[in-house]
């Protein structure tokens, strides 16, 4: 009965997250799932508290990144960058598509995939609409690059933060090992999309009616401060890694500078800032932690055994272990969403005493695998949700058609890049 109730709560929670009946927010789904775990005695309050406490650093980082992204957005930086991308293309549709793809990748890598999904996507769709271009290739590019661009830094994706915290990877080691997979994933993604959307990407477009980048900046002083803080935070991540300073401390320091400067310039208020933060993401993650802990109380009899058998079949070869975990986690992410899959993968890899090749391979699967379906990643769902508010939509079948072609190739390219990187840095 304990097994049936636990799996029932877990599956019901995932169903509510993916289907969102009557527009239900994902936070309600995980909140009810976590409450059910406690009320049914499937885990104790003490276990739930310890699980959430262990993820406190992840939650603090999420808040810091969202606040930093919101403060930078208030400076007009994202609109300024997007308009530059459009004008620098000088009417060439192919160059415009490349510029948008690169901009999305850079924003995702440096400020997280949620920034691309929530802030950059509406800006891109806005100027694409003004230029009277087909939104489909640009929208799918935003949805994909929010995942494929999230490998380089621990801050780029919530799944990265979960894996870094679970396996105690250093900031520098993570970057060194993921740089090559990141380059490979983005190169494969861009090359495939230029081929897939060659008929939809315009050969040329007219720039009339498109605002100048300077028009996106209402306060040049605050804009310059935002650029300075962004550069300082990025440098601070690497210096902090050497000094033992947690990354969220550096991000919060950047936020404090912009809040003080913005209040002095009368550009920022705490109320205005709070309106730009997706507060529902925190109860969503907390509830998910509690739900997955209830599943872990079962001892995960199947998952560690399955992981151990898969790794044993792969043998000691790092390439085989990367392949098994990357494609396994990737498929699982499309079934249960990548954040629950990351938590389950971490538990399974720990129980199976998996090495770095399997660990990093599973992370690749959780980041790149969800591009197969619209429900595989929270970022993809946010991109599509924001697009629908602007009258643009991608059907699940349409997205799957693109994902079924692109995702395996992108994941394979990244896996080969990871194998090469681990050979260099692990021997």
How far is CA 268 from each of CA 20, 67, 153, 258, 264, rounded to the nearest angstrom? 34, 12, 28, 8, 8
Cβ atoms within 10 Å of 50's Cβ, excluding its own = 12
Looking at the DSSP assignment, which residues form a beta bridge with residue 92? 204
Domain membership flag for residue 3: no
The CA angle 167-296-343, to the nearest 5 degrees, is 45
How far is CA 102 from each of CA 88, 107, 305, rounded to the nearest angstrom? 13, 9, 41
Tokens matching residue 24: 């239900």
Domain membership flag for residue 95: yes
Tokens matching residue 209: 């009616």
Domain membership flag for residue 23: no
How far is CA 90 from each of CA 93, 164, 203, 217, 246, rounded to the nearest angstrom? 9, 42, 11, 21, 42
DSSP 8-state code for residue 210:
P
Beta carbons of 141 and 112 less than 8 angstroms apart: no
**What number of CA atoms fall less than 13 Å from residue 74's CA on the CB side?**
29
Tokens matching residue 211: 């605002």
- CA gap 69, 238 in Å, rounded: 19
Domain membership flag for residue 9: no
pLDDT at 305: 55
Number of domains present in the structure of the chain: 1
Domain membership flag for residue 319: yes
- CA gap 332, 264 in Å, rounded: 49
pLDDT at 306: 61
3-class secondary-structure state, position 204: strand
Domain membership flag for residue 374: yes
Looking up tokens 């929010």, which residue turns up? Answer: 146
Domain membership flag for residue 410: yes
- CA gap 414, 261 in Å, rounded: 41
Domain membership flag for residue 201: yes
Cβ atoms within 10 Å of 396's Cβ, excluding its own = 12
Q: What is the mean pLDDT of each run of 10 residues along the chain (427 residues)?
A: 85 80 83 93 90 83 87 91 90 93 94 85 86 90 94 90 89 92 97 94 83 89 94 90 84 93 79 81 86 76 58 70 92 82 86 88 94 82 78 82 95 96 80
Instruction: Note down the domain range covering 87.
Output: 55-425
């Amino acid at each position: 009965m304990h097994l049936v109730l636990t799996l029932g709560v877990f599956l019901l929670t995932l169903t509510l997250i993916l289907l969102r009946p009557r527009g239900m927010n994902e936070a309600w789904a995980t909140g009810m799932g976590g409450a059910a775990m406690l009320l049914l005695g499937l885990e104790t309050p003490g276990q739930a508290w310890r699980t959430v406490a262990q993820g406190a650093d992840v939650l603090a980082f999420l808040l810091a990144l969202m606040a930093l992204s919101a403060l930078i957005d208030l400076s007009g930086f994202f609109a300024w960058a997007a308009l530059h991308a459009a004008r620098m293309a000088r009417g060439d549709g192919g160059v415009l598509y490349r510029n948008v793809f690169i901009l999305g990748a850079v924003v995702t890598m440096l400020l997280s995939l949620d920034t691309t999904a929530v802030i950059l996507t509406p800006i891109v769709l806005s100027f694409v609409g003004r230029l009277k271009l087909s939104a489909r290739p640009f929208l799918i590019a935003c949805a994909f690059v929010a995942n494929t661009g999230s490998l380089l830094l621990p801050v780029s994706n919530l799944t990265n933060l979960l894996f870094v915290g679970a396996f105690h990877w250093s900031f520098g080691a993570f970057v060194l090992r993921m740089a090559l997979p990141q380059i490979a994933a983005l190169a494969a993604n861009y090359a495939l999309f230029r081929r897939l959307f060659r008929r939809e990407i315009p050969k040329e477009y007219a720039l009339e009616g498109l605002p100048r980048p300077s028009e996106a900046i209402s306060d040049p002083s605050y804009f310059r401060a935002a650029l300075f803080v962004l550069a300082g935070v990025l440098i601070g991540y690497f210096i902090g890694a050497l000094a033992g300073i947690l990354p969220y401390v550096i991000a919060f320091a950047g936020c404090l500078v912009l809040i003080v400067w913005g209040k002095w310039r009368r550009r920022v208020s705490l109320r205005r800032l709070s309106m730009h933060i997706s507060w529902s993401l925190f109860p969503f993650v907390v509830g998910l932690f509690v739900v997955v802990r209830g599943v872990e109380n079962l001892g995960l009899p199947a998952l560690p055994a399955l992981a151990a058998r898969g790794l044993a079949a792969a043998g000691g070869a790092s390439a085989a272990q990367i392949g098994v975990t990357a494609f396994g986690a990737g498929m699982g992410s499309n079934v249960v969403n990548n954040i629950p899959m990351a938590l389950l993968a971490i538990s399974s890899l720990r129980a199976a005493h998996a090495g770095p090749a399997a660990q990093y391979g599973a992370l690749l699967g959780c980041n790149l695998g969800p591009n197969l379906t619209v429900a595989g990643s929270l970022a993809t769902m946010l991109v599509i949700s924001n697009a629908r508010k602007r009258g643009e939509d991608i059907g699940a079948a349409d997205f799957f058609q693109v994902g079924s072609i692109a995702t395996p190739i992108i994941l394979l390219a990244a896996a080969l890049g990871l194998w090469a990187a681990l050979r260099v840095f692990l021997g």
